[in-house]
């Protein structure tokens, strides 16, 4: 997952807060001002992502996405968080 994001974002991809989850998964999150973005990789080989704009209460996300893929929505919302 990290390699895929690095190929898409290059040097603009900042290191996330990251760690293992109790269920064997892994989570990454980025906070930048009012923007919050997180990715949770599950042990079954899928991932969920979630975006929230704390200023406007805008939320977006997807669940059960196969590893090795990224949707236009994920790219758009993570970019919004990174460059805000």
List of the chain residues with pLDDT < 70: none
Question: Which among 74, 17, 22 has a CA at the least distance from the CA of 50?
Answer: 74
Domain assignments of the chain as residue spans, ordered by start: 2-83
pLDDT of 57: 86
pLDDT of 4: 92
Q: What is the CATH number of domain 2-83?
A: 3.30.1120
């Amino acid at each position: 997952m990290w390699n895929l994001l690095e190929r898409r974002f290059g040097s603009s991809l900042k290191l996330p807060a990251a760690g293992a989850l109790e269920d064997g998964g892994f989570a990454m999150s980025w906070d930048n001002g009012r923007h919050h973005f997180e990715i949770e990789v599950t042990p079954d080989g899928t991932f969920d992502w979630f975006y929230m704009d704390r200023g406007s209460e805008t939320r977006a996300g997807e669940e059960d996405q196969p590893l090795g893929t990224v949707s236009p929505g994920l790219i758009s919302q993570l970019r919004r968080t990174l460059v805000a």
